[in-house]
Chains A and B, each alone.
Chain A
Amino acid sequence: MIAFILRRLGGAVLLVFIISAVTFLIFFGLPKLAGTTTDDMAARFAGKSPTPEALAAIKERFGFDQPLAVQYGNFVKAAVTGDTYDTGVEKIDCPAPCLGYSFRTNQSVTDQLVDRFPITLSLVVGAAVIWLLVGVSIGVLSALRRGSLFDRAAMMIALAGVSLPIYFTGLLSLAFVVHQWGLLPPVSYSSFADNPFKWASALILPWITLAFLYAAMYARLTRAGMLETMSEDYIRTARAKGLPERTVITKHALRASLTPLLTVFGLDIGLLFGGAVLTERTFSLKGLGSLALDGVVGSDLPVVLGTVVTASLFVVVANLIVDLLYGVVDPRVRHS
């Protein structure tokens, strides 16, 4: 078991390295290919129109004239051991894990990520609870009553659910539920620790909006998975043994069909933790997704790089956890 965990852990670390390297390559190598000069690069890093001296300092500082591998090495080194930035006025310490320093907002990228993450976390966790509960139960019910009116209606709604852009549903519900009917307070984020009730009531709408999309998807996945399992031989055997239908469904069918869902769920959560860009944008929530988008719009490259690397980190970690859980659930995985 320990060997298995170590192996997976090693793989995950390697994956993070590769992903950050590829990200780095795309942000630094691709523009070069496209004819961007090192001056332009430095300007993007400065995040504003800099003086020639500032440009020279940034070029020097980040070694834009050096080979990409060296630049990437510097980036990793800063992430591992920390770094110091010179703003020309004072030296700013950026302790490990230092993912860069934004010269536009004058803050370390890590600080901004730490500051924004609770918002994304609150959004995603709340939504995930809803979509798991709703999506899976509808999927199971649909599978059990296959072909019924309920099944057909639910699946049609689910298909519509995955076909609607989230910002469309989000903005419409915002217009109606909050502004038109005043059923909910305006969407905002306040700390859970300060006032859990306020935290929840101001986030209900984004939760439901995000959950609607995923619940639709999970309902379809669950239904498909259930139908497949129900036609397996061992379910027939279980039934033939005379086990009560309830036991057959909960103990055998459900478990078997939900395990693959675990993988999907892990990845979804991982991806969303990195920033639910559209939902955050729609509801003006200042999470990681908004941070990344602001970084792009304001050509603040350090922030963009930092958020993308962090987001992929979440995916890798989520993958790792799913893998490990599988190892616990299914011994065969451990030895494969």
Chain B
Amino acid sequence: MTAPIEVTGSETQAQPDAVLEGIEGKAIQGRSLGQIAWLRLKRDKVALAGGIIVILLILMAIFAPLVVKLLGHPPNEFHQDLIDPTLGGPTSSLGGMNGDFLLGLEPGNGRDLFSRIVYGARVSLLVGFMATLVAVVIGTVLGVVAGYFGGWVDWVIARLMDIFLAFPLLMFSIAVVGVLPDKWLGLEGNGLRMAILIFIIGFFSWPYIGRIVRGQTISLREREFVDAARSMGARSPYILFREILPNLVAPILVYSTLLIPTNILFEAALSFLGVGISPPTPAWGSMLTDAIRTYQIAPYFVVIPGMAIFITVMAFNLFGDGLRDALDPRSNR
């Protein structure tokens, strides 16, 4: 199955069999899966670097107000005294980059780009994580149910996944965002927009997780330890929660890690198309749209949000790849 249109991000859809088989193979052995994975991951310097960047980004987003207070200016504050009124660029060299403005000034209104990037991370990461969470919850529940119970339940859920995957996602999200009202469910403005983005992106990417979980559940269902539990009189909920779910943690973890960057790119794309977060809240995608309009005046302004998106997505991908390799005994670099 393939990733959403034009915002690939990572191959969430890549054949999961390798990872899954690997997990099964090792699960019964002495050393725990976590230990093995950690040992392997530790040796993978590239993946570790990705992981560290991810953690730094998350910390930066969480502590954005503090970071900005220490190192920048409020993200919506104008600094037009530093801007040439005719050409619109900063009057000082290097795009106004200095100790005061770490990443320079936005042309025109002179907003602090560093602060805007830091705050922009909040939107990107929040939407990326929450949407993935939504996808994981729906995907896991439906995947396990389909895989465990089989029969017509499985048939219905599998078809449901087909239907969801056939939706032209990007186009659809643009349309839905455009159709919904400004106030709903007690939310309004950007709060509502963010909630809608999270829900839509999550709601349409659950089948990627769902398929993997379903496949895994089917194979687990037939394994000896499940059989054993069943023959000892365990009920379905017990088997599901105690025997099957713990074995699903690893693949879910891997594919969530790979789904997050896709969702981040997705949010950036919507912002780029002008249907994301409204101004003045900074989002990387819409910063890029603004930057394109002034690339002659301030080339650095194009590079900064572009690199922010790129570094974030790449870090998640590197880490996710590493995690997959670590959990897959057949991959030996």
Contacts and interface: CB of A to CB of B under 8 A. Distances in A.
Judged by CB atoms under 8 Å, the answer to whether A and B touch is yes
Interface of A: 15, 18-19, 22-23, 26-27, 30-31, 34-36, 44, 147, 159-160, 162-168, 171-172, 175, 210, 213-214, 216-217, 220-221, 224-225, 228, 231, 260, 263-264, 267-268, 270-272, 274-279, 281, 289, 292-293, 295-297, 299, 301, 304, 307-308, 311-312, 314-316, 319
Contacts of B109: none
Given A147-B333, A276-B6, A293 B174 contact: yes
Contact of A224 (B3, B14, B162, B170): B14
Contact of A18 (B2, B10, B163, B171): B163
Interchain residue pairs A-B with the least CB separation, the first 6: A311-B168, A296-B178, A163-B313, A163-B314, A315-B166, A267-B2
Interface in B118-165: 162-163, 165
Interface residues of B, number: 59
A272 B174 contact: no
Interface of B: 1-11, 13-15, 17-18, 162-163, 165-172, 174-181, 184-185, 261, 265, 268-269, 272-275, 285, 288, 292, 295, 302, 306, 309-310, 313-314, 317-318, 321, 330, 333
A167 B288 contact: yes
Interface of A is mostly: helix
A166 B288 CA distance: 12
Given A277-B6, A278-B170, A228 B18 contact: yes
Given A27-B179, A34-B180, A167-B288, A274 B2 contact: no
B11 A221 contact: yes
B299 to A, nearest CB: 9
Contacts, number: 170
A44 B302 CA distance: 36
B8 A34 contact: no
Nearest to A314: B168
Given A272-B6, A275-B168, 8 more contacts: A160-B310, A162-B9, A163-B9, A278-B7, A279-B6, A308-B172, A311-B168, A312-B168
Contacts of A22: 163
A162 B8 contact: yes
A261 B7 CA distance: 18
25 contacts: A22-B163, A35-B181, A163-B265, A165-B268, A165-B288, A166-B6, A168-B309, A172-B306, A214-B8, A216-B8, A220-B14, A270-B166, A271-B2, A271-B4, A271-B5, A271-B169, A272-B6, A276-B5, A276-B6, A278-B272, A296-B175, A304-B175, A308-B168, A315-B165, A319-B166
Contacts of A308: 168, 171-172, 175
A102 B168 CA distance: 21
Contacts of A299: 178
